[in-house]
Amino acid sequence: MKKLAFLILPFISSLVVSSHANAWSNADTAWEIGYLATHIADWGQTRDIAAQCGEGTYYETNPALGRCPSTNKVNAYFLGTALLHAGVAHLLPQKYRRTFQSATMMMQVGVISNNAKIGLNIKF
């Protein structure tokens, strides 16, 4: 159940935050959910790194997490950045929101793809 909460909380938070935004559309919600799907995939792959750290196979390259983060640190980071992303998207003017959402989603797709190529799995 705890694992499920980590998956659902970013989605619910995003929807709650976005429902109060001025000029927030259903399309904005769909784009934010799309971003969060990629964010959660990256989260799972980063948890895979944390689980294998110390074996010498993988290490984290995000300086905010450090080379060998704990699973708790990974969870806190990804939950916080999911909420931050939704908040920034909420605050951005409509004309910049889609660019922010799509650019960050594409960045995540690149990271996820690279992680998959080197053998990381999405683990929760």
Based on the structure, what is the number of domains in the chain?
A: 1
Token pair belonging to 69: 């983060």
Residue 44 lies in a domain: yes
State the residue range of the domain holding 89. Answer: 2-117
pLDDT band at 3 (very low <50, low <70, confident <90, very high): low
Instruction: Compare 115 and 8 and report the one with higher pLDDT.
Output: 115
Residue 92 lies in a domain: yes
Does residue 1 surpass a pLDDT of 50? no
Model pLDDT, residue 31: 96
Instruction: Name every residue whose Cβ is closer than 8 Å to that of residue 122 and which is 6 or more positions away in sequence.
Output: 41, 44, 45, 48
How many Cβ atoms from other residues are within 10 Å of residue 33's Cβ? 16
Model pLDDT, residue 111: 97
pLDDT band at 13 (very low <50, low <70, confident <90, very high): low
The predicted-structure confidence for 64-112, as pLDDT tens digits, reads as follows: 999 999 999 999 999 999 999 999 999 999 889 999 999 999 999 999 9
Closest C-alpha among 51, 9, 49, 31 to residue 92: 31
Q: pTM for this structure?
A: 0.81
Residue 122 lies in a domain: no
Residue 86 lies in a domain: yes
Residue 93 lies in a domain: yes
Residue 21 lies in a domain: yes
Instruction: Compare 122 and 23 and report the one with higher pLDDT.
Output: 122
Residue 99 lies in a domain: yes
Residue 49 lies in a domain: yes
The predicted-structure confidence for 21-53, as pLDDT tens digits, reads as follows: 568 999 999 999 999 999 999 999 999 999 998
Q: Is residue 107 within 8 Å of residue 62, measured between CB atoms?
A: no
